[in-house]
Amino acid sequence: MEKTEVQKELERFRDYVVSQSRRNLSRLHKNSSKKLYNSIKGNVKTMPNSISIEFAMEDYGVFQDAGVSGTKKKYNTPYSYKSKMPPVKAFDKWLVRKGIAPREKGKFASRKSLAFLIARSVFRNGIKPSLFFTKPFEDAYKRLPEDLVEKYGLDAIELFNEQIDQILKQNA
């Protein structure tokens, strides 16, 4: 079956969003394990009477993109820490990958205590929105041909919100 122009255009849209999102992760130094980088995928589906595009990534990617407000520092995001800190063990592997050796007044301290301090800092200060996915998505949407947008009634905000909801549901 030969691809339609609409399908080709949506595949270009998908490819741009995926490649730029990955590039942004690297540029913003949010790519230490490559897990999120490798998980960003897009899929264009064609059915007899419709066509759709969907994106997927590791569930924590949504929080890296949109950010999370801390208990002391707030961001313009729907996500926030309220009473539960992020898991300390999540920062242990990160410390190892980054080669960070904890020191306390010239002596080595335990990695566990440093991981706790970092988790507490994230809890208080939150995660600054990086928009590593949002910006490429919006840029690519702006470049979609007008007739495609008009013909299919694509609504960027609705499409984006559907994608975020799908990612959260897939990884729940």
pTM: predicted TM-score of the whole model, two decimal places:
0.77
Can you tell me the mean pLDDT for 126-148? 89
pLDDT for the residue 73: 94
Domain limits at 83? 68-125
If asked whether residues 133 and 149 sit together in one domain, one would say yes
If asked whether residues 115 and 73 sit together in one domain, one would say yes
If asked whether residues 75 and 118 sit together in one domain, one would say yes
Residue 40: name the closest of 22, 62, 63, 14 by CA.
Answer: 22
If asked whether residues 9 and 60 sit together in one domain, one would say yes
CA distance 133 to 131: 5
User: Mind listing the pLDDT tens digit for each residue in 26-50?
Assistant: 999 888 889 999 999 999 987 766 7
Those residues whose C-beta lies under 8 Å from the C-beta of residue 29, and which sit 6 or more positions away, are none
Query: 112 pLDDT exceeds 90?
Result: no
If asked whether residues 117 and 141 sit together in one domain, one would say no
If asked whether residues 34 and 51 sit together in one domain, one would say yes
E strand segments, the chain = 41-47, 50-56, 103-104, 107-108
pLDDT for the residue 70: 94
Worst-scoring range by mean pLDDT, 9-23, 53-67, 85-99, 154-168?
154-168
